[in-house]
Structure 1
Amino acid sequence: MKPLGQLTVICGSMFAGKSEELIRLVRRAMYARKKVQVFKHALDDRFAHTAVATHNGVQWEAIPVRNTRELLCHLDADTEVVAIEEAQFFDEELVRLCVELADAGKTVIVAGLDQDFRRQPFGIMPLLMAHADEVVKLRAICVQCGRPASHTQRLVDGRPAAWDEPTILIGAAEHYEARCRNCHQVRRVPPAYRKRLLRGIRRTGETP
């Protein structure tokens, strides 16, 4: 009988434990004597170039790749479990590859940021989540108030980053914090994004 494949997407803000969860699932697959390959986007070289690394120092060997085609070149035909870190940096071909692998009976585990520092959907993550059999959304702890945090706060010289700054800036605690929706801030937000539906409804007296 053909193995039943699965696509699991691990998402959340920075400092939410996404890498830890990916490593935990990879370790379980190894205990089950599955052949596992772990990949990461080459952009992420904060802690180790050839390893998935958590913020508390745990590491797992990984193959750094720059795009989906390069990943495919390193993928062995007999691999049963494919784990991919920092999926938000990959091109859209990764979505098709993950679906094809799962359809072929492979277990695919993907981890990435679901939102950028503006609280906007990040890269291909929404598509991966739509195709997933399971979505594991993790939350961190807000450094400002201690409540659950779902958002990534970018800091530039200690101040909240501006909306028009580049989406990608590799860094950890020196550039980013986990914050809840009340404490998250972005400077110079365009007027179109400052509008709120509820404010409009209350102003006109319409019923949602």
Structure 2
Amino acid sequence: MFIETSKSQKGWIEVIVGSMFSGKTEELIRRLNRAKIAKQTVEIFKPGIDVRYSEEEVVSHDSNAIRSTSVENSANILLLSGSVDVIGIDEAQFFDKGLVAVCNQLANDGVRVIVAGLDMDFSGKPFGPIPDLLATAEYVTKVHAICMRCGALANYSYRLSENKDTVLLGEKDRYEPLCRSCYLKATK
């Protein structure tokens, strides 16, 4: 689906989005590992807030992992990226709006940028910088989980608690993926 790139070719932005438990991080790790196999230099970043599984790795729900650098804001990605062919960014919804400019600058400089994140928050609203990244990306992949109530494709991350904070880190103890129909029933 994607052509492996070198620094002599123009960069681009790929965005992987979906609900919780849809395989976004798994797909990010897969693409980054393929770039490594192609002997490309790779750097991975994640927001400092995400310490659910590891502070030094991006880890999928299936326990696949890849070394990463935690950063407090998007500007740090530019400072720490150095001379690389591919940059991966996980949990992009937790970054500031400056992430869009950072990704565009990297792509303009010839870097392949692969970003993964939630497209919607628990209330079904667009989340963080993701909508703007979707608008500027050359490639967009939407992945789906399976609805925990009916087995259909799930597009929503339903929060199981009454907490209304936009950012609430959690796993299956706090969220479940739901299809549109089950999400609407659950939120009524």
Give matches, 1:2-17, under 5 Å.
2-17=8-23
Q: Secondary structure at the match of 2:180?
A: coil
Q: Secondary structure at the match of 2:128?
A: coil
TM-score normalised over the length of structure 2: 0.92
State the one-letter code of the partner of 1:173.
Answer: K
The equivalent position to 2:78 in structure 1, one of 68, 72, 79, is 72
The equivalent position to 1:107 in structure 2, one of 99, 104, 112, is 112
TM-score normalised over the length of structure 1: 0.84
Quote the Cα distance in structure 2 between the aligned partners of 1:90 and 1:50: 17
> Which residue of structure 2 lines up, in the alignment, with residue 38 of structure 1?
44
Quote the Cα distance in structure 1 between the aligned partners of 2:48 and 2:23: 20
State the one-letter code of the partner of 1:11.
Answer: V
Give matches, 1:46-61, under 5 Å.
46-61=52-67
Following TM superposition, the consecutive aligned residue runs of length 4 or more in structure 1 with deviations greater than 6 angstroms are none
Q: Secondary structure at the match of 1:182?
A: helix
1:7-42 CA distance string (max 9 Å, x none): 000000000000000000000100110000000011
Asked if 1 retains the 8 angstrom alpha-carbon contact of 2:75 and 2:102, the reply is no
> Number of residue pairs matched?
180
- Higher-RCO chain (CA-CA 8 Å, sequence separation at least 6): 2
Return 5+ residue gaps in structure 1 as ranges.
188-208
Give matches, 1:73-88, under 5 Å.
73-76=79-82, 78-88=83-93
**Is it true that 1:27 corresponds to 2:49 in the alignment?**
no
Quote the Cα distance in structure 1 between the aligned partners of 2:64 and 2:109: 31
**Cα offset for 1:70?**
2.1
Give matches, 1:104-183, under 5 Å.
104-156=109-161, 161=162, 165-183=164-182
Q: CA RMSD in A?
A: 1.3
Quote the Cα distance in structure 2 between the aligned partners of 1:71 and 1:131: 18
1:69-95 CA distance string (max 9 Å, x none): 22222111x111000001001111110
**Cα offset for 1:56?**
1.4
**Cα offset for 1:49?**
1.1
**Cα offset for 1:6?**
1.3
Return 5+ residue gaps in structure 2 as ranges.
1-6
State the one-letter code of the partner of 2:176.
Answer: E
